[in-house]
Amino acid sequence: MTRQNNKALRKLIGLLILLVIAPVSASTLSSFSVPNSDFTALANRINAIESSRRTLDQTFQLAVASWRMGQLKAAHTLTDQLIKADFEPGDSLYLKGLIYLTEVREVNVFKKIGTAKKALKAWEQAIQADSNHILALFAVTAFYVNAPSFAGGDLDAATARLPQILALDPHYHELAAGLIAEKEGQPEIAAKRLRAALNNGPDQPIMLFQLAQFYYRAEAYELATQTLETLQGFPLFWHHPVPSMITLMQGLALKKQGDLQASQETFERARALTQNPSLKTWAEKELAEL
């Protein structure tokens, strides 16, 4: 794999972090909340139940906790059980795709493209299982937008998905259209559409985090910091950006603004908050580079 391809793939991985904090369809199953985003406590509580006595709902929650804590092998095993049992197949397959996406950061460079395509395949299967699964559809669309062409990126294919997204949810339609506009080199239109995606619904944290990411990529670091600040105090479901990720992004934006003391304090908070080894390593790397 050439150096140019490696760079493009790293960019894909970075951009697809957006999907790791994206929600699944608005079912009762997928909207459970985790007090204080404490996935360790959730996992401990369910692991105390004998596996043969767990409900499939509890198995799903344990799969989520395992994924959030970076225990990807366990998360794969649990989602395989859910898929085999045909339990909420849209949600289970969507979660499977998120686990593969996280795994892209862990595998060696020769396996990254194949692993990313496994995530795409899982999301496509989620849509086949549940045609109204808006976030599986959004995930596929965002993949086409962000992936380099050698890894399956296709802006025309992403654009072709917009009518289907609009039919399901106008806010996610604005979100997808904003990402496409950004990719097409139209930042003003992208910003307008991403702001139009904001709503008062339960997934407001998703929309705000996406907007903050856009501001960061556009080097509007103060706006990114302000947008991330508005996320403080929001009630969070399992699929929303975890506090440690929000805090880490704040640290990155503060660092870009040249406020090294504030960024150091913020990275330290992120390191203390996170229950995910990869996020902890990321925070420690940023601290070491200050």
118, 104 contact by CB (below 8 A): no
- 70 lies in some domain: no
DSSP letter assigned to residue 55 = -
CATH number at residue 233: 1.25.40.10
Is the pLDDT score of 17 beyond 70?
A: no
70, 276 contact by CB (below 8 A): yes
- 92 lies in some domain: no
Is the pLDDT score of 22 beyond 50?
A: no
Long-range contacts of 265-270 (CB under 8 A, 24+ apart): 270/244, 270/245
Is the pLDDT score of 132 beyond 70?
A: yes
Is the pLDDT score of 26 beyond 50?
A: no
Identify the domain containing residue 214 by its residue range: 205-290
- 154 lies in some domain: no
| pLDDT at residue 24, as a whole number | 36
* pLDDT, mean of residues 123-147: 93
- The structure tokens listed for 135 are 């976030």
Least Cα distance to 63 among 48, 53, 73 occurs for 73
- 246 lies in some domain: yes
| pLDDT at residue 235, as a whole number | 80
Least Cα distance to 60 among 26, 83, 37, 40 occurs for 83
Residue corresponding to tokens 């929001």: 234
Is the pLDDT score of 240 beyond 90?
A: no
117, 152 contact by CB (below 8 A): yes
Is the pLDDT score of 21 beyond 50?
A: no
Is the pLDDT score of 194 beyond 50?
A: yes
| pLDDT at residue 203, as a whole number | 79
- 229 lies in some domain: yes
In a 10 Å sphere around its CB, with 0-12 CB exposed, 13-18 middle and 19+ buried, how is residue 206 labelled? buried
- 31 lies in some domain: no
Is the pLDDT score of 221 beyond 70?
A: yes
| pLDDT at residue 204, as a whole number | 85
CA angle centred on 244, ends 135 and 118, rounded to 5°:
40
Domain count across the chain: 1
Is the pLDDT score of 23 beyond 80?
A: no
159-172 pLDDT, tens digit per residue, is 999 999 999 999 99
- 115 lies in some domain: no
- The structure tokens listed for 165 are 């997204």
- 136 lies in some domain: no
* pLDDT, mean of residues 2-24: 50
